Amino acid sequence: MKAARRTLSLLLASLLLLGAVSLTGGSAALAATDGPLTYVVRNGSATVTQCVYNAAGTVTVPATLGGAPVAALAEEAFRGCSDVKEVVLPETLLTIGDRYFEFCFGLLRVDLPESLLALGTAAFHDCVALQSIRIPASTDRIGFCPFSECTSLRSLTVDPANPVYYSAGNCLIERASGTLLVGCSFSEIPQDGSIRAIAESAFEYCREITAVTVPAGVETLGDYAFAGCDAITQLQLPDGLKQIGQFAFYNCSQLRALDLPDSVEQIGAYAFCNCDRLTALELPESLTEISEYLLYLCPRLLRVTIPRGIRSIGRLFNDGCTLMTDIYYEGPPEDWARVQVAQQDKEFNEAVIHFIGGVCEKADAASGVGLTFEYGTFGTPNDSTLTLRVERVAEGDARFSAYKVNVDGAQHALYEIHMEDAEGRSYQPQDGRLVTVRIPMPFVIEPESYGAMFIHHRKQDGTTERIKYSTGALRVEDACFVFEVSSFSDFAVCSDDQGNHADTDRDHICDFCGDSLTYTTDLIVDGENLGPVTYYYNDTVASVLLDPPARPGYTGAWVYTVTRDVLEIHPVYTPIVYYATFLAEGAQVGEKLPFTVETEAITPPPVPEKPGYAGAWSDFTLGIGDLIVTAVYTNPTADAKLFVKSSATVDYRTKVTVTAYAQGVPAGFYLALYEGANVLARGDNETVSCDVGQLTADKQYVVKVIDKNGLLQKDGTGTPLAKSVSVTVKTGFLQRLAAFFKGLFGLLPRVEIKP
């Protein structure tokens, strides 16, 4: 028994010693409290170090605490005070520390005092309800991203007397460098030439921006400059832009096109990552290196154009671009072979490489006809695999009224020229580009006696157009006719006014053109003879008829058979193709969907997600005419209510379970319990409960209503559905002593904190 008492005495002495150390150790400045605020006084001035987590409504920081003027707000002092709506700051305040108001989800208003000199990094991070802020004239130091993810910020101004910063168009700008430091969803970037750079994270997560024009004179876009701006549909970048930082346009998911100026010399890694509506990208000519994962997670990307000056290519797609099929290189194959290409994923390795630079010469051995063209002129899956095929058109071919064309008794050559790929598919030059054609002269004669070369181009509607190359355009080199053409058809050489023609009773032109041949027939429509009609060989029959009777939603055309004596004709109706356009927030979603009056239904594209809202297409009915369908977004948590106990006091080493409830939260949304940025538990749409363990110190938790992506939701008034839970632990000597013995005998208490 004496031994047990000695052991207990030693234990009590040890605990008293520990208590004494905890009370007297550390800084000489002792913490004190004033209402919800904790502060310390050093060197004649007071610093606010903490605000209790369950503070709510308006919190006023007094001008003096402990008899000393309040000069500073320490780092994270108000962090997580989600129920605070307004903070009143004193005119004695000089500095606001890093992350001071971070996660104050309900903060609506705070006026920075005229005495403020410095504003810390991320000072207002995630203050999602804050709508306006004014920087006073005295503030000459502002940390990195002071208003990041303040998604409701509408007004950002600076006192005109501030010598370091100024505001324009709701943008915070550094005077000396012309750097736009901070913008918001309602900013208008000045276009007066004053902006020379856009800083890192300047517009990060400004989710209401739909159109951006980066002004002329800007040379640098910082890292994350527009990351998370998932509503941008229009983006204009200036000539002269040289550098685009890493992650600059990360998750700009509505951006469908990027026109990069040729002045850009550097683009950082992941710059266009998760731009999931981007279908094509042409990289600028001045670029020499392609950074890692530049196009990671761009699932709709189809093609990429790489400039000739590229020396190295990092890993581009990382298996995130499943539709990627074509890579265009603005140079010949021999230059591509010198590019250092990193180990690539399957999208890169399986894509077809097109070479759109360099000159290719091809000739047909049998006929001697030759072509000269640039790589890429034909826009094929692989331009280097094209083959030239030349056929001589048979005499008496039905496409020509009279084929025999003679000069000095010799028949001229008539050719069909085809460019084909390995599968036999025929290609024409693309975009009207010119291809040089060389045809051997069919006989020896002075070139001046050839008045012209005629190219007969048959159109898709069956008509024929004749293109005449005069002597000036048609030249003779090395016993070959040489000319340039933008489409292939039949080629023949004849004389305008020289030589003997086979059909001398007709006009003295190249008779195979058929211009002088006419027919007279009886016109019979659905069995009724409407009398004789005369037409030329190259006429379309419909050109001599009235339009078929109208039928709503259809186009009518005549289908006919013709001989020299009878023209039998019937009207045939084809449904008109109309298109349904689906718009979300003013931007087109997916491709336009075709339909006709015979279409029973169409399958709309998925409604784009809008954070915090449920979307559906407006009702529509197919009919006659094009259709526009708009997305309708509603707040699914408008009627939701969150029930959380704001504070509780427990004994030392109590086993604590935190529970919260909600009403009106639809399925697909969740209640989650956070400690700082860490998720402790995620429940369903009605409740969340978590055993947070044995508590030995005060704790602050936050309960949020979130969606599947972890985004905080709001109720019908726009108030974030987030509430704080403050747990105070009794840490006095007697409480710790009692907890020791309860733990020794397995009697530690358990408490559930719930509404």
The whole-number pLDDT of residue 59 equals: 95
Note the pLDDT of residue 366: 81
Q: Which helix (H) or strand (E) holds 392?
A: strand 387-392
pLDDT in tens, 66-106: 999 999 999 999 999 989 999 999 999 999 999 999 999 99
Question: Phi/psi of residue 540, each to 5°?
Answer: -85, 140
Q: Which residues contact 737 (CB under 8 A, 6 or more apart)?
A: 12, 15
Tell whether the model's pLDDT for residue 404 goes beyond 70.
no
Write b or e for each residue in 39-77: b if 16 or more Cβ atoms lie within 10 A of its Cβ, otherwise e. Answer: bbbeeebbbbbbbbbbbbeebebbeebeebbbbbbbbbb
Pairwise pLDDT comparison (437 vs 472), residue with the higher score: 437
Indicate the domain borders of the chain.
Answer: 26-163, 359-513, 518-575, 578-634, 641-753
**Domains 578-634 and 641-753 belong to one CATH topology:** yes
The Cα 221–Cα 199 span in angstroms is 6
Average pLDDT over residues 138-153: 92
* Residues 551-606 pLDDT 10s: 888 988 777 665 545 566 777 889 999 999 999 988 999 999 999 999 989 999 99
Strand duo 312-313 + 340-341: pairing: parallel
Euclidean distance between CA atoms 79 and 299, whole angstroms = 38
CATH fit for domain 578-634, picks 1.10.540.10, 2.60.40.4270, 2.30.30.20, 1.20.140.10? 2.60.40.4270
Go through 141-178 and write b for each residue having 16 or more CB atoms within 10 A of its CB, e for each that does not: ebeebbbbbbbbbeebebbeebeebbbbbbbbbbeeee
User: How sure is the predictor about 489, in pLDDT bands with cuts at 50, 70 and 90?
Assistant: low
CA–CA distance, 494 with 492 (Å, rounded to integer): 7
| pLDDT surpasses 50 at 460 | no
Instruction: Report, in this order, helix, strand and coil percent for the chain, each rounded to 5.
Output: 10, 35, 55
Q: Which token pair is 200?
A: 């890192």
Tell me the fold of 359-513: Chondroitinase Ac; Chain A, domain 3 (2.60.220)
- In 503-653 the beta strands, taken as DSSP E runs, fall at 518-525, 528-536, 554-562, 566-575, 578-584, 587-588, 593-595, 614-617, 627-634, 641-643, 647-650
Instruction: Name the residue among 403, 422, 431 with its Cα closest to residue 487.
Output: 431
The answer on pLDDT for 27 being more than 60 is: no
Residues 166-221 pLDDT 10s? 999 999 999 999 999 999 988 999 999 999 999 999 999 898 899 999 999 999 99
- Segment 230-237 mean pLDDT: 93
| Least confidently predicted of 38-42, 239-243, 386-390, 535-539 | 535-539
Question: Residue 379: beta bridge partners?
Answer: none
Domain 26-163 fold is 3.80.10
Tell me the two tokens of residue 552. Answer: 């709503």
Q: Is the pLDDT of residue 495 over 50?
A: no
Whole-number mean pLDDT of the chain?
81
How many C-beta atoms lie closer than 10 Å to residue 315's C-beta?
Answer: 18
Closest CA to 345 of 311, 280, 295: 295
Q: Is the pLDDT of residue 422 over 70?
A: yes
| Per-residue pLDDT tens over the stretch 655-702 | 899 999 999 999 889 999 999 888 899 999 999 999 988 888 888 999
Q: 650 pLDDT band (50/70/90 cuts)?
A: confident
Q: Would you identify the CATH topology of the domain 641-753?
A: Immunoglobulin-like (2.60.40)
Give the global pTM: 0.55
Name the architecture of domain 518-575: Sandwich (2.60)
Mean pLDDT check: name the lowest of 68-77, 231-240, 399-408, 634-643.
399-408
| Model pLDDT for residues 529-542, shown as the tens digit of each residue | 766 766 544 455 55
